[in-house]
Amino acid sequence: MTMITNTRILIHVAAACFVVTAAAPTDAQAQVTTAVNYSFNVPLVKVVPNPCTGGFTLVNGTLTLAISAVQDTAFQLTTTLTSSGTGKDVTVDGLPLIVGAGPDYQYSSDGSLTATFFDGIPTYFEGTLPMADFLVRNSPTLTGDSYMLRTVLRLKANNGIPSAPTLDSISVACE
């Protein structure tokens, strides 16, 4: 449910960015710089597998999405995602563990994509947005219980209209 909500927010933000930039001047001779910058904070809730314990972690936090589009002699689109929060040990259904739960994880993630087009605003665009999620538990007794989740999203836009991001790959590793 949360991934769908986050995906919908990304779709709306990307659509707004492409609509605004599609109206930007495309004449490179004019040397006019047009820039559009958007930044949104949205709640983040997701359950991720924990490779260190064999269980799951419920992540609660805030996701910041920043989109920048610049039209100068080239068109450049930059998308950045960062987030922070905490994580709790949970069952596969997301219910908190009462027995065997350790202290909360500190959670952070980041990812970015920059695409430059020298022929103006593209009619078709496809790119990947790699994300790195870090979950670190500060506990003197639970060493080796930090892990990393690597996710790659595939972004596409056709005639300025973005499609829903799709999951390209995912991997989880105990650190």
The DSSP secondary structure of 151-168, one letter per residue, reads EEEEEEEETTEEPPPEEE
Dihedrals phi, psi of 2, to nearest 5 degrees: -70, -40
Give the Cα separation of 98 and 46 in Å (integer). Answer: 19
Average pLDDT over residues 50-72: 88
With 90 as the cut, is the pLDDT of residue 108 above it? yes
Average pLDDT over residues 70-89: 89
Question: pLDDT (tens digit, 9 = 90+) per residue, 23-37?
Answer: 444 444 445 567 788
pLDDT at 86: 94
pLDDT at 160: 67
Q: Is the model more confident about 124 or about 13?
A: 124
Dihedrals phi, psi of 30, to nearest 5 degrees: -75, -20
Residues spanned by the domain of 23:
2-174
Average pLDDT, rounded, for the chain: 79
pLDDT at 140: 66
Sign of the CA dihedral running 161, 163, 168, 174: positive
pLDDT at 110: 94
Q: Give pTM, 2 decimals.
A: 0.71
Give the Cα separation of 111 and 151 in Å (integer). Answer: 9
pLDDT at 18: 45
Q: What residues are paired with 1 via a beta bridge?
A: none
With 70 as the cut, is the pLDDT of residue 100 above it? no
Dihedrals phi, psi of 73, to nearest 5 degrees: -75, -15
Give the Cα separation of 48 and 57 in Å (integer). Answer: 5
- Total domains in the chain come to 1
Give the Cα separation of 37 and 69 in Å (integer). Answer: 7
